[in-house]
Amino acid sequence: MHIALQACSARHPSAQAEAPPALKAIDLVLAQGGQVAVIGPSGAGKTTLLHLMACALKPTQGQLLLDGRDPWALRTAELQRLRGQLCLAPQVPPLPPRQRVITAVLAGLLPGMSLWASLGSLLYPRQIDLAETALARFDLAEKLFERVDRLSGGERQRVGLARLAVANARLLLVDEPLSALDPERARQACASITAVAREQRATLVATLHHVDMALQHFPRIVGLRDGEVVFDLPTAEVSPERLTDLYARHPDELTGAAPPLALSVADAPAVALTCR
Residues in contact with other proteins by CB under 8 A are 13, 54-58, 76, 80-88, 90, 92, 94-99, 103, 107-108, 110-111, 113, 115, 118-119, 122, 167, 169, 265, 270-271, 273, 276
Q: In which element (H, E) is residue 3 found?
A: strand 3-10
Min CB(86)–other proteins separation in Å = 7
Min CB(1)–other proteins separation in Å = 13
Parallel, antiparallel or unpaired: strands 228-234 and 220-225: antiparallel
> What is the distance between the alpha carbons of residues 254 and 241, in angstroms, rounded to a whole number?
12
Nearest partner of 205 among 239, 170, 236, judged by Cα: 170
Ordered strands of the 220-225 beta sheet = 86-89, 171-175, 203-207, 35-39, 220-225, 228-234
- Cβ closer to other proteins: 114 or 255? 114
- Cβ closer to other proteins: 83 or 242? 83
- Cβ closer to other proteins: 81 or 198? 81
Min CB(176)–other proteins separation in Å = 15
- Cβ closer to other proteins: 9 or 220? 9
Min CB(223)–other proteins separation in Å = 26
Nearest partner of 25 among 55, 54, 45, 51, judged by Cα: 45
Min CB(50)–other proteins separation in Å = 11
Helix (H, G, I), strand (E, B) or coil at 47: helix
Backbone angles phi, psi at 240, to 5 degrees: -55, -30
Min CB(269)–other proteins separation in Å = 11
Helix (H, G, I), strand (E, B) or coil at 71: helix
- Cβ closer to other proteins: 29 or 119? 119
- Cβ closer to other proteins: 72 or 212? 72
Helix (H, G, I), strand (E, B) or coil at 88: strand
